[in-house]
Amino acid sequence: MHWHILGAGAIGTLWADLLMQAGHSVTLILRQANHSLEQGIQVIDSEKQHRCTPITETPAENSAPIHNLLVTTKAQHTLPALEPLLPRLGASTQVVLLQNGMGQQQAAADRLPTRKLWAATTTAGAWRESPARLHLVSLGQTQIGPWHSEQPQLPEGWDALGIELHGCTEIEQVLWRKLAINCAINPLTALHRCRNGELLSDPQRLQQMQQVCEEVEAVAAALGMSLFDQPLQQQASAVAQSTGNNLSSMLQDIRHGRATEIEQITGFLCDQADILGVDVPLNRNLLQQVRNLNSAKE
């Protein structure tokens, strides 16, 4: 099968490699042509290196139909990046959204001409030294499920990817769990400019994390959803501990002067809280503080 990938960051590039290793061909859709990718991408893990060579194109370069599309852009770029491709998508195009955050899946579902839409979340880790050099940290676990319930759990062609891939019937719940962890870790690490593990070693940060978690749980409860078998604070602390040395994606965005995914993480939570009439004062406060950091960069 041929897959197009929209969003050639670390995760998009990693998936280009995984899809090619599974026998698919891949086109990376780039904002601007990048000649350094013509010789292929060098993929480096702790034991070995190899090269994968996807085709590259920019949205303006091609008008041929797209049959299979993987979207790995930042959450806030989903609709603007999809818009120029819409004339190339049809009722039978498979689309997979593999991203952080929530809200963009429903927005895409409303806009796309196809019901063959999947949402996914991954714990895979990779970083790009340059557009043509990708370091793989871990393949992690990926959970995927159809946005429209009548579709199969996995998109066609994804059964032989060399990763731990779990097909789910309730992908929205899975996304909520990831969102809850991101609400607990990302804004606080961005505002305190600290590593994930440093949230746990400071009593004031830990107390903020506790309140964020209680508010998130109140929203989930109002939706009739229980998030984890244990309190969110315990689950989020375990993630902060196991990723203790990492800089959260939000702190990395702040450090690089990029817009963060705060609207699709804490912003989505606060919107749901509004609809449900649940009080989330600390999350609202963190949302505003991260917005202020973002606008200070603009």
> Looking at the annotation, which residues are catalytic?
178
Judged by CB under 6 A, the residue of 239, 259, 276, 293 near ligand PAF is 239
Tokens read off for 244: 């203790």
Angle at 34 between CA 29 and CA 40, to 5 degrees: 85
Q: How far is the CB of 129 from ligand PAF (least distance, A)?
A: 19
Neighbours of 195 (CB within 10 A): 17
Encoded amino acid at 243, one letter = T
Q: Indicate which single residue of 196, 260, 266, 294 sits in contact with ligand PAF (rule: CB under 6 A).
A: 196
Give min distance, CB of 90 to ligand PAF, in A: 33
The yes or no reply on residue 220 touching ligand PAF (CB under 6 A) is: no
Q: Does position 264 bind ligand PAF by CB under 6 A? A: no
**Closer of 100 and 105 to ligand PAF (Cβ):** 100
Sole window of 132-140, 158-166, 181-189, 273-281 interacting with ligand PAF (rule: CB under 6 A): 181-189
CB of 166 to ligand PAF, least distance (A): 17
Cα angle at 258 between 256 and 262, to 5 degrees? 120
Per CB under 6 A, does 104 bind ligand PAF? no
Full DSSP string of the chain: -EEEEE--SHHHHHHHHHHHHTT-EEEEE-SS--GGGTT-EEEE-SS-EEEE--EEE-GGG--S--SEEEE-S-GGGHHHHHGGGGGG--TT-EEEEE-SSSSHHHHHHHH-S-S-EEEEEE--EEEEEETTEEEEEE--EEEEEESSTTS-SS-TT-TT-SSEEEE-S-HHHHHHHHHHHHHHHHHHHHHHT--GGGGTS-HHHHHHHHHHHHHHHHHHHHTT----SS-HHHHHHHHHHHTTTPPPHHHHHHHTTPPPSGGGTHHHHHHHHHHHT---HHHHHHHHHHHHHHHHH-
Does position 73 interact with ligand PAF (CB under 6 A)? The reply is no
φ/ψ of residue 238, rounded to 5 = -65, -40
According to CB under 6 A, which residues from 16 to 55 bind ligand PAF? none
Asked if 56 touches ligand PAF (CB under 6 A), the answer is: no
Which residue of 181, 183, 194, 227 would you call a contact of ligand PAF, by CB under 6 A?
181
> Shortest gap between Cβ of 61 and ligand PAF (angstroms)?
32
Q: Which stretch binds ligand PAF (CB under 6 A): 157-165, 178-186, 204-212, 280-288?
A: 178-186
With CB under 6 A as the contact rule, the residue among 72, 186, 235, 294 that binds ligand PAF is 186
Please state the closest distance from residue 247 (CB atom) to ligand PAF, in A: 8
Minimum distance, C-beta of residue 132 to ligand PAF, in the bound complex (Å): 24
Of 52-60, 139-147, 214-222, 245-253, the segment contacting ligand PAF by CB under 6 A is 245-253
Contact status: 94 vs ligand PAF (CB under 6 A): no
233 binds ligand PAF (CB under 6 A): no
Query: Which residues of this protein are in contact with ligand PAF, per CB under 6 A?
Result: 100, 181-182, 185-186, 196, 239, 243, 246, 248-249
